[in-house]
A and B are shown apart, each in its own frame.
Chain A
Amino acid sequence: MVGIVSYGTYIPRYRVKLADIARAWNKDPNEVVRSLGIEEKSVPGVDEDAVTIALEAAQCAIADKHIDALFVGSESHPYAVNPTSTIVGELLGQGNNYLAVDLEFACKAATAGMQAIAGLVAAGQIQYGMAIGTDIAQSKPHDLLEYTSAAAGAAYLMGNTGVIAELVSYTSYSSDTPDFWRRDGIRFPTHAGRFTGEPAYFAHVLGSSHHLLEQGKIKPTDIDYCVFHMPNARFPREVSKRLGFTSEQLAPSLIVDHIGNPYSASSLLGLAAVLDNAKPGQTIFMASYGSGAGSDAFLWKVTSEISKIKYQKSKMKERVSDQIAKKTYVDYVGYLKQTHKI
């Protein structure tokens, strides 16, 4: 049985209100909040980056195991050339005998890593592998993305012993669809407006999801929870409805409502929020999305091993809900300073 052995998440404690951003640009704050369905987003500290955030998440997930493979997915790797995974691996005290891989695929870099690790575990090549999604998402000031681009990290330790959520099945859907990109050497990404909707997000999430449902011969009514990549508050709700899931099945995963879109950590944080409350035997449907474009879909089944982790996380206040609640507000100027725009 291959699956998740433990998981850890980290959300930087700072938040900026979307209304403050809107006011700075003479937009109607109420209109912005209403249309995006989000009130505030997470902001990294001035000295945080994808490495430090990955490390925080990984520390909560490592459970004293030695990692044989470490995959770090981000679209804000601190170096254009130099691996994030080896810095995180070193700081985690992993020694030298492990595979370190850096991944990039917009917001689905880390979920691709999970599929690769699942393969290595199933093949018996490794005992434990960790996939980390970490981002301090960048956006140009006054751009629409500025309202949702957030920062967070999520780490998943996978293996075949002590599994808390079995990986029942998985699929992936890929195509050449340039809906959101950043050229080498350019500081901020560009997005293609409404093209990021139907031909991009929806086509690919529906593509991987339909394939997974068909492959497993299951229906949304057979499943307990669903998690989708959350670029804003509307898209996951819409795609969930189209697939036939109910809002109750989706609700526990909607971290976007509280912290915005932390790119590579988005669906992984959603999954963590569900796992924090899931009971043994329950199933979780998850589909990520990465611009460019692709979607990785997973079906997880929670085991009885989850009880111990749930208790620990609750006691240590390491659940996603605890981290969402731990917050300090900064104003728009503070946000610009902390994201190094001024």
Chain B
Amino acid sequence: MIGKAGKIISWTIVRVPPANFGFQAPYPVVIVELYGGDRIPAQLVDYVPEHLKFGQKVLTVVRKTIQSDIDDVIPYGIKVKPV
């Protein structure tokens, strides 16, 4: 799942975040169609506004996801960044 390429097939910018995403808001959430056919929802990182468009090519990366409690295991997950 890491380093896989795909393209954006829809996007939004979440401006009212849930409890454990506060520190990252506002952030874009996209649906990506990976080359190979699978689709995944993911947060878009390292972007500029121009990247929020249909067909934008992206790559999957590993980043920290939710803001966990200070003594929790650190949650890592898949996000996507434009290429």
A59 touches B74 (CB 8 A): no
B79 touches A47 (CB 8 A): yes
A47 touches B65 (CB 8 A): yes
Q: A residues within 8 A CB of B74?
A: 49, 51, 78-79
B63 touches A52 (CB 8 A): yes
Given known A52-B61, A52-B64, A79-B74, contact A47–B24 (CB-CB < 8 A): yes
Which of B2, B3, B45, B65 lies in contact with A45, CB distance below 8 A? B45
Q: A residues within 8 A CB of B45?
A: 45, 47
Q: A residues within 8 A CB of B3?
A: 59
CA distance A47 to B64 in the complex (A): 5
A87 an interface residue at 8 Å Cβ cutoff?
yes
CA distance A87 to B64 in the complex (A): 12
B64 touches A48 (CB 8 A): yes
Given known A13-B46, A328-B48, contact A46–B23 (CB-CB < 8 A): yes
CA distance A51 to B63 in the complex (A): 9
A317: nearest chain-B partner, CB-CB:
B83
B79 touches A59 (CB 8 A): no
Considering only residues 1-32 of chain A, those with a C-beta below 8 Å from chain B are: 13
Given known A46-B23, A46-B24, A91-B2, contact A52–B46 (CB-CB < 8 A): no
Shortest A185–chain B CB gap in Å is: 12
B76 an interface residue at 8 Å Cβ cutoff?
yes
Shortest B7–chain A CB gap in Å is: 19
A40 an interface residue at 8 Å Cβ cutoff?
no
CA distance A45 to B79 in the complex (A): 12
Q: A residues within 8 A CB of B64?
A: 47-49, 52
Q: B residues within 8 A CB of A55?
A: 2, 62
Considering only residues 45-70 of chain B, those with a C-beta below 8 Å from chain A are: 45-46, 48, 61-65
A56 an interface residue at 8 Å Cβ cutoff?
yes
Shortest A165–chain B CB gap in Å is: 25
Shortest A110–chain B CB gap in Å is: 20
B76 touches A59 (CB 8 A): no
A 81-114 binary contact with B (CB < 8 Å = 1; else 0): 0100001000100000000000000000000000
Q: B residues within 8 A CB of A59?
A: 2-3
Q: B residues within 8 A CB of A328?
A: 46, 48
B65: nearest chain-A partner, CB-CB:
A47
A55: nearest chain-B partner, CB-CB:
B62
A 37-51 binary contact with B (CB < 8 Å = 1; else 0): 000000001111101
Residue of A46, A79, A337 most packed against chain B (CB within 10 A): A46
Between A and B, 21 residue pairs with Cβ closer than 8 Å are A13-B46, A45-B45, A45-B63, A46-B23, A46-B24, A47-B24, A47-B45, A47-B63, A47-B64, A47-B65, A48-B63, A48-B64, A52-B61, A52-B63, A52-B64, A52-B76, A59-B2, A78-B74, A79-B74, A91-B2, A91-B76
Using CB atoms and an 8 Å cutoff, list the residues of chain A in contact with chain B: 13, 45-49, 51-52, 55-56, 59, 78-79, 82, 87, 91, 328, 337, 340
Known: A51-B74, A52-B62, A328-B46. 13 other contacts (CB 8 A): A45-B45, A45-B46, A45-B63, A47-B45, A47-B63, A47-B65, A48-B63, A49-B64, A49-B74, A52-B76, A55-B2, A59-B3, A328-B48
Q: Which 9 A-B pairs have the closest CB atoms?
A: A47-B63, A47-B64, A52-B62, A13-B46, A52-B63, A55-B62, A78-B74, A59-B3, A46-B24
